[in-house]
Chain A
């Protein structure tokens, strides 16, 4: 057990896998700087600095995975997936299906995501819903150092392609790299429990298993990444008002832990989704479908991102899911009796 920062917890999982398995390699833009310790320890043949050619190096990572390696391709910011979408949409995700499970693509794409430091609409998107919409990909989005370590460990043992998203507000090194740049004149609303925590080396967090972060019978809040910490903060305020919330941390978007969501909502009769991704055609709608398909008809609301994330910090704060928005939406849901037997 060690106390680690979020990013260091991921790097520790990567280092462990690289030390154990010579097939694990890291490639991507600037990795000699961003992963300097891995570069110094494993050398330039296993930590490969790539040109700004996402289509080439993510595409090559797919081929390398099919050819027997276990690559981690680093995309810097998930927003840059636009430049290499084909390798995920039409290549990595399809091989297992085409070969009826005979040929797998053990690839991890590691990228940062999320906003809260004023970088604007091309550098702060979540996009996990877009990526999870592609069958054949797994998409994981941890909210704590322990999960970050455990999910990276699981991703590196998994035989299919995994998109591993690292929220910049949780990752001190990324926030320093992109947000602060050595300045003491800026501050960010960073959730302390997400930034640093106890990590059990080598312990796997299985893909597709949600975690219950808080127990309550009045309302289910489902979220992931920074949203989990905002939801917990809101739940503490709501508890003082007599509204007790279940807070569920999905951890994986695909596979989605429908069972955990349905079990909680069956108990509470109310579902509030807190999702930093876009509101429409994404995760929040999928969760609504999941409970409907399970035969439940809960009260439903969502706190998401509605459009292009504005650059100005005060506008960005209004656009991203905040404690205030979550609490307000929860109060609104709690005001109405759920239409379920045994409730109301």
Chain B
């Protein structure tokens, strides 16, 4: 796909996430809301190589990929609004969006997209020769047993599967490197998978790497692991307590910081060094959370703008906004 086509899909995905965010803030979407803002280049770049008959297993941030795949936007929005006109009649919500016709399925259980993707690949090999499956997940999921077992299974059975790790550096409100030994790419290589490591904010690089890996899988040359580094622009979920505390230490963060301070000064507890290490680590987390919050320098959409030029970018963004605006109205989300 050409640069304009990729940018168009990214703009659509972003417009959809922004509309979702507004509805969530209005209180019209309930529960947790994990946006995929920052992952648009990965969604557009990978889906560009998919064909009918391919299958996609998704995590708790499924909407950018589903938007690019062509799922009805009004139906997805209506689903998140809990309406009978939603694609699952309000039963599923954003973490459980699925499309049987597009062979796409998401899940809110971290790591579960990997074995699901392996199963899709198995069915595809048997029933739709030349088809592939893609599993999307985050770096946090790289420490989940079922995912690590799937790396082995995919290699052992030489499945037509692309495993896409959207590496944003976070596992909920934990820095992934603080709880991870080794490197995800080296780990996948250790299981015998082909690996590729790309800048997930560079849509051209993602598209090229994904195309190679998907071609190999189609030709029966086995599974690949693609790590794409992405920013996390809206926290773990909307209203992420750590992000809010970091952004407004005197407001939303006041209770947390007050509780931490008085606890650190308790008469009993750990040694002074232990307490200091904890406090320093918490402050560091807040600093990192603040830095990533809607960081325009690392925003893939901003970066992709230069690949198509300002004029084309503005036109495509306006079209995407109009399309999503119509979907919001059709879903009954407009005021």
> Contact flags (1/0) for B86-104 with A, using CB distance below 8 Å?
1000111101100000000
| Known contacts A51-B180, A52-B140, A83-B146, A118 near B278 by CB under 8 Å | no
Shortest distance from the beta carbon of A16 to any chain B beta carbon, whole Å: 10
A180-B33 Cα distance, complex, nearest whole Å: 10
Q: Interface residue tally of chain B, by bracket?
A: 35 or more
| Inter-chain contact A52/B244, CB cutoff 8 Å | no
How many residue pairs link A and B with beta carbons under 8 A? The number is 185
Please name the residue on chain B nearest to A79 by beta carbon.
B109
| Known contacts A36-B259, A312-B83, A119 near B30 by CB under 8 Å | yes
Which chain A residues numbered 87 to 129 have a C-beta less than 8 Å away from chain B? 117-123
- Whether, in the assembled complex, B179 has its beta carbon less than 8 Å from a beta carbon of chain A, the answer is yes
| Inter-chain contact A315/B174, CB cutoff 8 Å | no
Which chain B residues numbered 57 to 88 have a C-beta less than 8 Å away from chain A? 79, 82-83, 86
A177-B241 Cα distance, complex, nearest whole Å: 6
What residues of chain B lie closer than 8 Å to A40, measured between beta carbons?
Answer: 260-261, 263-264, 275, 278-279, 282
| Inter-chain contact A83/B32, CB cutoff 8 Å | no
| Inter-chain contact B91/A312, CB cutoff 8 Å | yes
| Inter-chain contact B238/A56, CB cutoff 8 Å | no
| Inter-chain contact A83/B270, CB cutoff 8 Å | no
- Whether, in the assembled complex, B169 has its beta carbon less than 8 Å from a beta carbon of chain A, the answer is no
Shortest distance from the beta carbon of A116 to any chain B beta carbon, whole Å: 10
The interface of chain A, by Cβ under 8 A from chain B, is: 19, 29-30, 32-33, 36-47, 49-56, 79-80, 82-83, 117-123, 176-183, 185-186, 308, 310-315
The interface of chain B, by Cβ under 8 A from chain A, is: 24-28, 30-33, 79, 82-83, 86, 90-93, 95-96, 107-111, 140-141, 143-146, 171-174, 176, 178-180, 237-242, 244, 252, 256, 259-264, 266, 268-271, 273-275, 277-279, 281-282, 285
> Please, could you name 28 A-B residue pairs with CB atoms under 8 Å apart, sorted by A?
A30-B173, A32-B174, A32-B282, A33-B174, A33-B241, A36-B259, A36-B260, A36-B282, A39-B260, A39-B278, A40-B261, A42-B269, A42-B275, A43-B269, A49-B179, A50-B179, A51-B143, A52-B171, A79-B109, A83-B146, A118-B31, A120-B95, A120-B96, A121-B96, A122-B95, A181-B238, A182-B239, A183-B27
